């Protein structure tokens, strides 16, 4: 048996291909370079869903905008109990209120919901009233508007669009596998998305970028990086934003997002010196990981520059995983539909290693 199912192929998919040796991500025949910064989130979602729904509109933007307006009604269910929870738990609870199903209307509501709920939860936790969606805006621009209560600049909206597209699908990662297992029972797309978001929440998967800001703030200046990182590793901590189950080289999404951060920094979004500081921390971390773990190729993953990008767009670190869900939800839904279309119930075996049953004499 392979520990953690490493290298086990558990599904055939037409959706995305992660080449861990070459550091390459292909989404439905397009390399990440061709999509990130070029396609909108709506276009990437349409690409992922193509062939999995009857009568998919050529332009998904109006339908996704209408779905945002529809799910906004659920924001009224945000009570003080939910607001005391972490943003990802509150978003997950609101998602659980949506009706389940397998059709396109359900899929659109599920794809729209993480963006709408994330903005509402962040605002409510800051004591601010939610801002209703504007269905005429693009998804990324509307998410920023719902978050901040003002229109984003084109550069900001483009940066968030790049992020959402970059994380929209990534092979059989833990959350997508969880979503496919649930979809294979025919429980519905909503149930599959809830499984996905629950798996995404963990710090080894989508929960990493919030702690990256804590790491950067804890380090404070480049000259502190080595001592801080060595102390963290000596405690047995993992460095968030580094290492990957599949990539043995640099995660190509890291560079797509670093590019988006750099483009934004040409405006005024990034704190002066923030990108250079993060690069210095990244170099120190990579050097130390190479010294400490020479046998395991540990490189920068998607989460490191996610943290910088979402910070610059005013998302609080506690909500970074929710924004990840707003992008990955398109992939979960596509995989769930692909599983339903061709896959059998996913039901592997376990090997019993417990005590032998006592046989009565």
Give the contact letters, 105-134, x = binds to ligand ACO (CB under 6 A), - = no: ------------------------------
- Rounded-to-integer distance, Cα 359 and Cα 192, Å: 42
Ramachandran area for residue 232 (φ above 0: left; ψ -120 to 50: alpha; else beta): alpha
Q: Which residues, in sequence order, are CB contacts of 88 under 8 Å at separation 6+?
A: 197, 200, 201, 207, 319, 321, 322, 325
Q: Which residues, in sequence order, are CB contacts of 139 under 8 Å at separation 6+?
A: 40, 41, 42, 61, 64, 65, 68, 112, 115, 161, 164
4 binds ligand ACO (CB under 6 A): yes
CB of 206 to ligand ACO, least distance (A): 6
303 is catalytic: yes
- CB-nearer residue toward ligand ACO: 210 or 243: 243
Q: Report which of 92, 118, 116, 105 is spatially closest to residue 193, judged by C-alpha positions.
A: 92
Give the interface segment with ligand ACO, choosing from 26-34, 241-249, 268-276, 307-315 (CB under 6 A).
241-249
* Catalytic, out of 303, 311, 335, 338: 303
State how far the alpha carbon of 228 is from the alpha carbons of 231, 241, 243, 357, 361, in Å: 5, 15, 18, 51, 62
Report helix, strand or coil for 27: strand
Give the contact letters, 263-302, x = binds to ligand ACO (CB under 6 A), - = no: ------------------------------x--x-x--xx
Give the interface segment with ligand ACO, choosing from 60-68, 75-83, 176-184, 235-243 (CB under 6 A).
235-243
240 binds ligand ACO (CB under 6 A): yes
- CB-nearer residue toward ligand ACO: 141 or 254: 254
Give the contact letters, 191-230, x = binds to ligand ACO (CB under 6 A), - = no: -------------xxx-x----------------------
Given 245, 248, 250, 262, the residue binding ligand ACO (CB under 6 A): 245
- CB-nearer residue toward ligand ACO: 15 or 240: 240
Beta bridge partners of 25: 18
3-state helix, strand, coil in the chain (%, to 5): 60, 5, 40
243 binds ligand ACO (CB under 6 A): yes
- Rounded-to-integer distance, Cα 146 and Cα 271, Å: 23
CB of 110 to ligand ACO, least distance (A): 20
Which residue lies nearest ligand ACO, judged by its C-beta?
243
- Catalytic residue list: 244, 303
């Amino acid at each position: 048996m392979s520990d953690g199912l490493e290298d086990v192929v558990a599904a055939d998919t037409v959706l995305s291909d992660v080449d861990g040796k070459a550091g390459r991500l292909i989404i439905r025949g397009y390399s990440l370079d061709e999509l990130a910064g070029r396609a909108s989130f709506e276009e990437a979602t349409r690409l992922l869903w193509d062939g999995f729904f009857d009568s998919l509109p050529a332009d998904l933007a109006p339908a996704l905008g209408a779905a945002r307006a529809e799910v906004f009604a659920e924001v009224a269910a945000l009570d003080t109990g939910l607001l005391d929870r972490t943003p990802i738990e509150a978003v997950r609870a609101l998602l659980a209120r949506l009706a389940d199903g397998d059709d396109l209307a359900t899929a659109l509501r599920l794809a729209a919901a993480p963006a709408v709920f994330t903005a509402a939860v962040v605002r409510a936790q800051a004591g601010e009233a939610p801002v209703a969606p504007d269905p005429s805006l693009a998804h990324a621009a509307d998410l920023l508007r719902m978050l901040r209560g003002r229109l984003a600049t084109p550069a900001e909206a483009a940066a968030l669009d790049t992020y959402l597209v970059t994380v929209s699908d990534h092979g059989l990662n833990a959350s997508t596998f969880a979503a496919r297992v649930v979809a294979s029972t025919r429980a519905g797309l909503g149930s599959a998305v809830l499984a996905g978001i629950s798996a995404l929440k963990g710090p080894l998967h989508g929960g990493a970028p919030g702690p990256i800001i804590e790491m950067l703030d804890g380090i404070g200046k480049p000259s502190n990086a080595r001592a801080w990182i060595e102390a963290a590793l000596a405690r047995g901590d993992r460095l968030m934003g580094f290492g990957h189950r599949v990539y043995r080289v640099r995660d190509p999404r890291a560079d797509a997002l670093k590019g988006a951060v750099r483009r934004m920094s040409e405006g005024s979004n990034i704190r002066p010196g923030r990108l250079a500081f993060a690069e210095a921390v990244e170099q120190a971390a990579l050097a130390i990981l190479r010294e400490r773990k020479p046998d395991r190729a540990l490189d920068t993953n998607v989460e490191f520059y996610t943290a910088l990008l979402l910070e610059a767009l005013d998302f609080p670190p506690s909500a970074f995983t929710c924004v990840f869900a707003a992008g990955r939800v398109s992939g979960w839904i596509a995989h769930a539909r692909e599983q339903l279309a061709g896959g059998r119930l996913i039901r592997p075996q376990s090997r019993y290693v417990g005590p032998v049953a006592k046989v009565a004499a």
